[in-house]
Amino acid sequence: MREKVPRWESELWSYMSSSDGMHCPLASHCQIRQSGKWCIDDNMERLNQLLDAKGFNLRNYDFIECEACGRIFKMVEMLARRYLKRGRVRCPPVPTGLVSLFDEQYPVEVRLLPLKVYHGAIWHPKGVWIIQLKAGDTSAAKRFTLFHEAFHILAHCRTTPVFRKRGTIQGSFNELLADYFATCILMPREWVKEKWVDVHDLNKVAKIFGVPQSAMCIRLKRLGLI
Ligand SMILES: [Zn+2]
């Protein structure tokens, strides 16, 4: 039985359906921008580089400011919460099996492949979703990519673009939203705050949540914890 889609979620998908995927559809009347606050959209290239960087250097993260989050990001976070609740996940690390709930109609299969250019991609042959992950990535990176790709599945099911095979298109706004979704579902803000008080060590907290250090560092910065 198809679950009733909450009104805020319909709002999210209608913005996404109407956008070109490259820029925030709410940019022209976003209060965060108008008040001159730090916007993820304006910084997406740099954030992308951090997520993709090989080494880790805390100083490279200095440009990230504590959040104010625009409406569309808030809705993406609500969406992540909804799936955690549906999967009855209450503490980290979030199990990867949660992606099986992302389409009510078709099963979601995960395949590891020697991908070269992308970290992940989705493919939708008849009757199944396939999430391809780069075999050579660390398990933490694979988990992040998995939920990034899973967001594309949701977007595909709820919006109406013509589907095509694709990987991570660097720099586009939809990719940023997919990263933000992965961030929110793997590192729910309340859990991160709680663990940070206990552990207070970036590396250890990243391990507890099963996420790359870079992704955790961005989350901690945005939450104003470091
Ligand atoms: Zn993507």
pLDDT digits (tens, 9 = 90+) for 46-67: 998 898 888 899 999 999 998 8
Distance (Å) from CA 152 to ligand 1 centroid: 7
**What is the arithmetic mean of pLDDT over 214-220?**
97
**Domain assignment present for 217:** yes
Q: For residue 163, what pLDDT is reported?
A: 42
State the residue range of the domain holding 217.
Answer: 7-222
Q: Considering the chain, what percentage of its residues have pLDDT values greater than 90? A: 63
**Domain assignment present for 2:** no
Distance (Å) from CA 146 to ligand 1 centroid: 10
Nearest in space to 33 (alpha carbons), one of 7, 60, 2, 72: 72
Crossing angle of helices 173-186/71-86, nearest 10°?
Answer: 40
Distance (Å) from CA 129 to ligand 1 centroid: 15
Question: Helix, strand, or coil here: 136?
Answer: coil
- Number of compact structural domains in the chain: 1
Phi, psi of 11 (to 5 degrees): -60, -45
Distance (Å) from CA 58 to ligand 1 centroid: 25
Q: What is the largest CA-CA distance in the chain?
A: 49
Q: For residue 150, what pLDDT is reported?
A: 96
Distance (Å) from CA 45 to ligand 1 centroid: 14
